[in-house]
């Protein structure tokens, strides 16, 4: 009886690493947008579409950014946010 091959594990794509300065800049822009209650567009790693809305909360315990648009609340992991922009 021939040996049965085990299925190979698929490597999961890893989030790109960013240095401390970039993470700090993203954090500052998020705080500024939350304080001004302005609409932001977040480019999120691994998500097909950008997230657009108003930041209503940032949870330091869970590291989630709460974005609200049209009554829907979307929770985005801070470490997955690649870019913070404004709508065109």
Structural domain contains residue 33: no
Copy the structure tokens of residue 60. 């330091």
Rounded CA gap, 82 and 46, in Å? Answer: 10
Structural domain contains residue 35: no
Instruction: Tally the domains of the chain.
Output: 1
Q: Which stretches of 1-88 are DSSP H helices? A: 20-36
Beta strand residue intervals within 1-88, DSSP E: 39-44, 51-59, 64-69, 72-77, 81-85
Task: Please check the confidence at residue 6 and state whether its pLDDT lies above 90.
Answer: no
Rounded CA gap, 38 and 36, in Å? Answer: 5
Task: Please check the confidence at residue 10 and state whether its pLDDT lies above 70.
Answer: no
Q: What is the domain range of residue 63? A: 42-88
Structural domain contains residue 5: no
Structural domain contains residue 32: no
> Which residue, chain included where needed, has tokens 């709508």?
87
Q: List pLDDT tens digits, range 77-88.
A: 999 999 999 987
Task: Please check the confidence at residue 15 and state whether its pLDDT lies above 80.
Answer: no
Which of 27, 35, 15, 13 lies closest to 84 in space, CA to CA?
Answer: 27
Q: What is the pTM of this model?
A: 0.80
Structural domain contains residue 28: no
């Amino acid at each position: 009886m021939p040996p049965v091959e085990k299925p190979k594990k698929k490597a999961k794509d890893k989030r790109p690493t960013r240095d401390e300065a970039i993470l700090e800049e993203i954090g500052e822009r998020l705080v500024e947008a939350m304080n001004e209650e302005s609409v932001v567009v977040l480019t999120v790693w691994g998500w097909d579409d950008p997230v657009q809305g108003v930041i209503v909360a940032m949870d330091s315990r869970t590291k989630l950014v709460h974005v609200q648009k049209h009554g829907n609340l979307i929770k985005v992991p801070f470490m997955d946010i690649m870019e913070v922009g404004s709508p065109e």
